[in-house]
Structure formats: C-alpha cells, structure tokens
C-alpha cells in the first residue's frame, strides 16, 4: 500500500512539473510587444491614410514575421528549451496568416471587393488563426481571436476611428498579459 502511495505522490509531483511547463509556454514578451506596436500603427493608419496603411501592413508584416521568428528562437534558447518540432508547428501556424492574407487579396482582386471589406476579411481570418493559436499555444489568444472576429464585423457599424479602436484593443490584449507576466516573475 505504501508503494501505491509513493507512486501517487510521484505522479502528482510530475503532473505539477508538467503544469508549470504548460503555464510558462506563452508567446515571448518581445514578440507580443512587436506585434502590438505593428497593429497599433497599422490599424491607426487605416483610419487616416489607407494607402500608407496597406504598404505598412504588407511590408511591416513580413519584417515583423521575420523578427518574431528570430526573437522567438532567441527567447526559447534563453528559456532553455529547444524543440525543432515545436518551432516548426509555430512557424506553420503563424505563417498561415500570410497565406490567409494572400488568399483574401486574391479573392478581392478576382471579385473586385472594396478596400475596407478586404481589411475586414483579413482581420476575420487573422482572428480565426489567433483563436486556434490560443487553443494550441498561448491561452491569451483564446479571447484575442474572438475580439478580432467580432471587431472585423463591428467595424461596419462604427462611424469613426473603428480601426484605431480595434488596434488599441488588440495592442492592449497583447501587452497587458505579458506585463502582468513580467511583474509576476519579479515577485517570484
């Protein structure tokens, strides 16, 4: 009976260690902040200068994707975890944003959709990808995804600064959890 008790205690200890690992698997802070700044600038531009916004979101998106990938690798090394399979999973998941954007743009060109509607479709697609990111990688995206999806539809009903408001909301959604995470680590 004591052996059973020992086994149960060992399993409990292992479960706690796995739980600690799962809780610590979140998007690295530098990546979250880079995306937040990118979204804030890009979405604000959409309300003021659509042409510059498109250029910024396209070029900035590629640059940010590369920067995110590099800083993600660096953060993983610093955290002491190396996993090529996991890195490939992240790259495929977040890389699908580019595929979604290209898909929506191709659809828009073939159907002659208006710029604002294209933006809404892109945000809707990114919202789905964010939500799935929440399911597989970081729980913060579980609610950020739906915010994007609802925001994509709600933009139609907001007369002024709808994109800016959505950008602020997403940026806060990215920055606030990492801010608290940082403070919690300091307390530890």
> Could you list the residues that contact other proteins (CB under 8 A)?
1, 3-4, 6-11, 13-14, 17-18, 20-21, 77-86
Judged by beta carbon, residue 14 or residue 59, the one nearer other proteins is: 14
CA dihedral of residues 38, 40, 41, 44 (deg, nearest 10): 150
Judged by beta carbon, residue 14 or residue 58, the one nearer other proteins is: 14
In angstroms, rounded to a whole number, what is the distance separating the alpha carbons of residues 59 and 56?
5
CB of 139 to other proteins, least distance (A): 18
CB of 90 to other proteins, least distance (A): 13
CB burial of 143-161 (b: ≥16 within 10 Å; e: otherwise) equals ebbebbbebbeebeeeeee
- The answer to whether 40 and 33 have CB atoms below 8 angstroms apart is no
CB of 12 to other proteins, least distance (A): 9
Judged by beta carbon, residue 58 or residue 86, the one nearer other proteins is: 86
Residue in this structure with the two tokens 């530098």, named with its chain if needed: 30
Judged by beta carbon, residue 4 or residue 51, the one nearer other proteins is: 4
Judged by beta carbon, residue 9 or residue 153, the one nearer other proteins is: 9
CB of 178 to other proteins, least distance (A): 19
CB of 157 to other proteins, least distance (A): 46
Count of other CB atoms within 10 angstroms of residue 43: 26
In angstroms, rounded to a whole number, what is the distance separating the alpha carbons of residues 156 and 166?
12
């Amino acid at each position: 009976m004591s052996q059973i008790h020992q086994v149960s205690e060992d399993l409990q200890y292992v479960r706690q260690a796995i739980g600690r690992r799962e809780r610590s698997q979140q998007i690295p802070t530098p990546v979250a902040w880079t995306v937040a700044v990118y979204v804030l600038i890009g979405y604000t531009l959409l309300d003021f200068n659509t042409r510059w916004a498109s250029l910024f979101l396209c070029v900035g998106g590629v640059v940010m994707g590369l920067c995110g990938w590099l800083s993600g690798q660096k953060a993983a090394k610093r955290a002491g975890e190396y996993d090529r399979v996991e890195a490939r999973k992240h790259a495929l998941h977040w890389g699908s944003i580019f595929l979604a954007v290209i898909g929506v743009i191709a659809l828009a060109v073939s159907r002659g959709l208006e710029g604002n509607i294209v933006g809404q479709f892109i945000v809707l697609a990114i919202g789905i990808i964010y939500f799935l990111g929440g399911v597989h990688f970081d729980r913060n995206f579980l609610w950020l995804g739906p915010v994007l999806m609802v925001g994509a539809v709600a933009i139609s009903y907001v007369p002024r600064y709808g994109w800016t408001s959505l950008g602020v909301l997403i940026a806060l959604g990215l920055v606030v959890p990492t801010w608290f995470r940082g403070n919690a680590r300091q307390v530890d």
